[in-house]
Chains A and B, each alone.
Chain A
């Protein structure tokens, strides 16, 4: 029999509970022999209470003030005995000065959420009406570390080999057509893993899954007057807690297990998991917002404040997290380590990441300590780190984000270059050329994997809408059309919105295929927006953050309606996986030759709308020709390697199934050294041994 631990005994009683001085680290609540250790940081609080709740009860079961001698430095730490880690809910009450001009906003009437809460009770079922008067609306809970991971290991796919698929957990299966047993949940997404495998993507990037409150939106539907929700979830309430409302088992408090099961099964399918994480702001908003956690615990530490104590608003949402404060740096680092160690996620995409390199006074730093720390952290060492390298205050760092050799970037310049070329803008061929070889102008020395290429993402038009609308149509968001981007570089192909004109419909389909063909043959990491492979529409809304309805949800019946497009995408992904020449980690140099209508004679003039390129690596040759001109052209083809001839992989001007040939079934050309490329079309050729 092992001896009883000496630290498993209380030294005194508070409010009927046996307690002893706790351990300041780790922060948050940790099960220890006989009880739970609670630890919370506050530099400026004068008093702190632990508030205990029984599940489902409105009033606290007990409030235990941390004795002054239980404070070590700026950390209040106490072990409480006799609590069940599986059922206890808790919060903190902090007292201190209310002096906004000096950064302090303590409010002891509030019971605050633990920043380190492993799960949060209060938003267990998506959409359930919140009780605004409830004391501590987001109650902190622990998570048992007993999940059966089996032999789970990260797939460890080289970044340049990824095909990323960005999706919203709820929207992916919420539509009745999804056919899953638990629509809109982690379990529902788990049922769709076979679909993802068949499509060929090997990384899912999940829009925010940290706990948030979907009711955090003051706006109403301008037609029905019904409240609009925060559907996307970029207003975090609990950074360590998986969104319970995304779990079919959230009402049982099993969201952590359900999410872990999802990750485990995705790994088994060879698919990595990247989380979209939001460290730039919180759900507390500006000084008008609610006091939920950071503000009441230590406002001046957690938020960037002006010299007058107001909130800097580099995020466009009212507050800005003070990411380069040493305490906050540790918080971010611990949070990411938690998701890697406890949930086995494979990487992170940082929302408005430019904020992560601002100093506490907002100044952009050349060597931001947070980013350096993340880049070199041993636990995160093999994670994918992806920056959205801009913020809402004009700091745009695409190509200049402090990467420390680790961070990739959402390449917004790739998106814009492809869009402008495809719609036929003049003077776009040169930039397109730079973008499709991995943007060496932006990522010299960092390689192609630094560039996450995309044409569409959750922010903005879907691919279908990019070729269907010239202008955004965001009226349903209740902001009189003021929200959402205006510079979309979109083109409706001749009519705004839905049309019966068969010519326009054909052109739109061709334009979607053109975009996808460029994306999936470009150097860099391609990212698809979920549903683009079946022409998902948001009816022209380019900012559906508040649309928890069929405008956002993926309608799976589109899979049949647009089977040809889906087949095209699936085949293109397979083509990319089959040909390493498209996925070199280094920027291609000597293996690239440029062409125009005539082989070896690219036309870089402003009036040109045609570009062709041959990628060569070893014995592999792939020829890509993109024609954004409204007329067809007779292309002269470069000579392939001796003993080989050009075979047709894809031609977006052809109707399915002739628009793309499956691997090894590429067809020979009628004339070996020429090919007629149609108006606004893209052609992919592969050199294969002449038979």
Chain B
């Protein structure tokens, strides 16, 4: 299932909705929205992931990209990731870079 990325911004917070599969082919679209958020100078980024069905290594790398693009003082939350995705994020140690929150 191809990835759909939508982004909305309220004040200094941006919310990115991901639907489908985040892999090497679709990661650039995700990166584009992160760059937009970074350019807008947001203080908080929420990645709504409950409709994300699969995250490949390129998708995991996108979280690192988000952290490094936005800087350490921006809170990044991954909201509602399904269990396999959340587990992989934790095992790779990326839960130190982003905050995982259940839906």
A258 touching B92 by the CB < 8 A rule? Answer: yes
For B90, list chain A residues within 8 Å (CB). 181, 187
Give A313 to B3 CA distance when docked, in angstroms: 55
Task: Output the nearest chain B residue to A182 by Cβ-Cβ distance.
Answer: B91
Contact with B along A116-159 (1 / 0, CB 8 A): 00000000000000000000000000001011101000000000
A187 touching B91 by the CB < 8 A rule? Answer: yes
Contact with B along A151-194 (1 / 0, CB 8 A): 00000000000000000000000000000011001010010000
Give A185 to B92 CA distance when docked, in angstroms: 11
For A261, list chain B residues within 8 Å (CB). 92-94, 96
Give A554 to B35 CA distance when docked, in angstroms: 47
Task: Output the nearest chain B residue to A144 by Cβ-Cβ distance.
Answer: B61
Whether a CB of chain A sits under 8 angstroms from the CB of B68 is yes
Name the prevailing secondary structure of the A interface residues: loop
Q: Which of B64-103 contact A (CB under 8 A)?
A: 64-65, 67-68, 72, 87-88, 90-94, 96-97
Whether a CB of chain B sits under 8 angstroms from the CB of A257 is yes
Task: Output the nearest chain B residue to A86 by Cβ-Cβ distance.
Answer: B58
A146 touching B65 by the CB < 8 A rule? Answer: yes
Whether a CB of chain A sits under 8 angstroms from the CB of B56 is yes
A84 touching B24 by the CB < 8 A rule? Answer: yes
B67 touching A257 by the CB < 8 A rule? Answer: no
Give A147 to B63 CA distance when docked, in angstroms: 10
B60, B91, B96 interface centre (most CB from chain A within 10 Å): B91
Whether a CB of chain B sits under 8 angstroms from the CB of A262 is yes
B91 touching A148 by the CB < 8 A rule? Answer: no
**Contact of A148 (CB < 8 Å), options: B56, B57, B64, B88:** B64
Closest Cβ of chain B: how far from A106's Cβ, in Å?
34
For B92, list chain A residues within 8 Å (CB). 187, 249, 252, 254, 257-258, 261
Task: Output the nearest chain B residue to A255 by Cβ-Cβ distance.
Answer: B92
For B57, list chain A residues within 8 Å (CB). 86, 249, 252-254
Q: Which of A241-284 contact B (CB under 8 A)?
A: 247-249, 252-254, 257-258, 260-262, 264-265
Whether a CB of chain B sits under 8 angstroms from the CB of A342 is no
Closest Cβ of chain B: how far from A302's Cβ, in Å?
31
- Tally A-B pairs: CB < 8 A: 68
Contact with B along A337-355 (1 / 0, CB 8 A): 0000000000000000000
For B67, list chain A residues within 8 Å (CB). 148
B91 touching A249 by the CB < 8 A rule? Answer: yes
For B60, list chain A residues within 8 Å (CB). 249, 252, 254, 257
Contacts A181-B87, A252-B88 hold; do A265 and B93 have CB atoms under 8 A apart?
Answer: yes
Contacts A146-B68, A147-B64 hold; do A249 and B96 have CB atoms under 8 A apart?
Answer: no
For A217, list chain B residues within 8 Å (CB). none
Contacts A252-B56, A254-B57, A264-B96 hold; do A146 and B91 have CB atoms under 8 A apart?
Answer: no
Give A86 to B64 CA distance when docked, in angstroms: 14
Closest Cβ of chain A: how far from B43's Cβ, in Å?
19
Give A253 to B68 CA distance when docked, in angstroms: 20
Give A260 to B91 CA distance when docked, in angstroms: 11
Whether a CB of chain B sits under 8 angstroms from the CB of A499 is no
A86, A148, A181, A253 interface centre (most CB from chain B within 10 Å): A148
Contacts A148-B67, A150-B96 hold; do A86 and B91 have CB atoms under 8 A apart?
Answer: no
Whether a CB of chain B sits under 8 angstroms from the CB of A87 is yes
A86 touching B93 by the CB < 8 A rule? Answer: no
A182, A257, A262, A264 interface centre (most CB from chain B within 10 Å): A257
Give A87 to B56 CA distance when docked, in angstroms: 11
For B58, list chain A residues within 8 Å (CB). 86-87
Task: Output the nearest chain B residue to A261 by Cβ-Cβ distance.
Answer: B93
**Contact of A248 (CB < 8 Å), options: B56, B64, B91:** B91
Contact with B along A377-409 (1 / 0, CB 8 A): 000000000000000000000000000000000
Give A144 to B62 CA distance when docked, in angstroms: 12
Closest Cβ of chain A: how far from B64's Cβ, in Å?
5
For B64, list chain A residues within 8 Å (CB). 144, 146-148, 257
**Lowest 5 CB-CB distances: which A-B pairs, in order?**
A261-B93, A187-B91, A248-B91, A252-B57, A148-B97
Can you list 14 residue pairs at the A/B interface with Cβ under 8 Å?
A87-B58, A146-B65, A146-B68, A148-B96, A148-B97, A187-B91, A249-B91, A252-B56, A254-B57, A257-B64, A257-B93, A258-B93, A260-B93, A261-B92
For the A-B complex with A249-B88, A249-B92, A264-B96 known, give 13 more contacts whose Cβ atoms are closer than 8 Å. A87-B24, A87-B58, A144-B64, A146-B65, A147-B64, A148-B97, A150-B96, A187-B90, A187-B91, A248-B88, A249-B60, A252-B92, A257-B93
